[in-house]
Amino acid sequence: MSLEADFVVVGSGSAGSALAYRLSEDGKNSVIVIEFGGTDAGPLIQMPSALSIPMNMARYDWGFSTEPEPNLGGRILATPRGKVVGGSSSINGMVYVRGHARDFDHWSEAGATGWAFADVLPYFKRMETSHGGEEGWRGTDGPMHVRRGPRSNPLYHAFVEAGRQAGFETTEDYNGSKQEGFGPMEQTIHQGRRWSSANAYLRPALKRPNVRLVKGFARRVVIENNRASGVEIESRGGIQIITARRKVVLAASSINSPKLLLLSGIGPAEELRQHGITVVADRPGVGKNLQDHLEIYIQQESLKPITLHSKLNWVAKGMIGAEWLLFKTGLGATNHFESAAFLRSKAGVDYPDIQYHFLPAAMRYDGKAVAKAHGFQAHVGPMRSNSRGAITLRSPDPAVKPKILFNYMAHEEDWADFRHCVRLTREIFGQEAFRPYAGREISPGAEVQTDAELDAFIREHAESAYHPCGSCRMGRADDPHAVVDPQTRVIGVDDLHVADSSIFPRVTNGNLNGPSLMTGEKAADHILGRTPLPPSNQEPWINPRWQVSDR
């Protein structure tokens, strides 16, 4: 079989699957998607409540980790990325957040012209089928199904009511006109199953005769006469080239996309020369501008035995699993993140910069360190740190993992913001709505009070929310630190695009699956040379008190 197509897409994740679907939609173009990972079949990925399992399996995860983080006491943090059909959308927490309107306006101001909120909102609508979202603001017939959890546990409602009692806003749809406030959290779950980009986009695309999935490890982009002509892959022990008649598109993640550019001779010239790589395009921004969200878990003992603690024994888990396998219902059909909040940290901040995930259990993402009693927790962290890191090559050998350094908590305001998050969570858990439920504080513990004590706790316990992005920043074509232009074209090389979370100029407010899907959707129109969807004239809600109060 001929290994060539009009478009060659590297990566079947959120953006890659959306690209495959849209690039092949009219039947005129052939598309090959290269994916190193295997199948996403089976209950471990498809069952929503099993989310902590695939994220920690070498079979589904690239197994990246950071260098020792200097501001977190030299800790090495896990950086999971999906190595499976569907990419990270097959191992993520299934939380759906578009991001705030102001995030995208900032992108546009930073040089990503045509990516302001008015420009991206039509793509969010095109990709969604929203179940229960705000009318007029949400999509109704797109591939990506988005729903709310059942919120049958009273703690979900206590969290929202406590926020209201503390004087904060509530919102019925943070993905609608009003992000700010406490309200229901949205999930990429459909008919009881994880609704990954593989289920939403890739499987329907693969039913078309003009789309193929090729299993292989992408080693580098083949560039001839300054034009991307294909991708060199390792497959079944041999090296082969997949030829792109029109364009190569990297959608390989914020870790692997910059790595592939560097291996292909696109990046900071001096860095490439040190590895003996021939410089094709001197782009100092490749791998730089790396960002993420950090968060901490504030855990409280529950006075009532209503949390998920009683469901952690093998008998209960077996019953939950059986119900899910038979009916796709019950506690197996949710990610348990069913209440959320987006808040502003202080007066003078015009849109939310703190995110909460609420969980009626006291446990970690990896399922470890389960509290010994009934408890509940809030995951909380600031959204817009000024700390920036980098992805760099360790070796010119494609098989060697890159160096990842986020440089977390590099600014004094990062520490002040996190201390505020802890104290604010204590204020919320101290409201009347939690009176019947809230026992002692498990973590950090009531004895942790001073700035120094809180800083020590944060240094030891802050965890990545797994939202890496920004490492191939989009900007003006004449910006020396931009990697791609607003049409997602790699600056300095013809017929090569990057379209995934690596092109975000700045991390958006919330989880990144939604904006990554939107990026694939919008990039497809740019790559095909289509006129983008007409901009929206809808105006988002901004708190009228933003200049004088945080609530």
User: Binding site membership for FAD: which residues?
Assistant: 6-35, 84, 92-95
Please choose, from the candidates 95, 59, 50, 49, the residue with its C-alpha nearest in 3D space to the C-alpha of residue 80.
59
Parallel, antiparallel, or unpaired: how do β-strands 186-187 and 64-65 relate? Answer: unpaired
- Of 352, 31, 345, the C-alpha closest to 206 is 31
DSSP bridge pairs for 357: 340, 379
**Residue 467 annotated in active site:** yes
Whether the Cβ atoms of residue 507 and residue 467 lie closer than 8 Å to each other: yes
In which residue are the tokens 């229960």 written? 132
Q: Please give the backbone phi and psi of residue 376, each rounded to the nearest 5 degrees, phi first.
A: -140, 165
Residue 78 burial by Cβ neighbours in a 10 Å radius (0-12, 13-18, 19+): middle
Tally of CA atoms within 13 A in the half-sphere of 429 that contains its CB: 31
Binding region = 6-35, 84, 92-95
CB 216 within 8 A of CB 226: no
DSSP per residue over 486-517, as a string? TT-BBTTSBTEEE-SGGG-SS--SS-SHHHHH
The C-alpha atoms of residue 357 and residue 96 are separated, in whole angstroms, by 11
CA distance 300 to 158: 13
Helix, strand, coil % over all residues of the chain, rounded to 5 = 30, 25, 45
Active-site entry in 336, 467, 497, 526: 467
Residue recorded with tokens 């994916």: 35
State how far the Cα of 372 lies from the Cα of 434, in Å rounded to an integer: 20
**What are phi and psi for residue 501, nearest 5 degrees?**
-65, -10
Q: Say which residue the tokens 């030299």 belong to.
A: 74
Q: What is the dihedral of CA 99, 102, 107, 110, to 10 degrees?
A: -150
Calpha distance 460→454 (Å, rounded):
10
* Alpha-helical segments (H) within 5-100: 14-23, 43-46
Task: Tell me which residues are annotated as active site.
Answer: 467
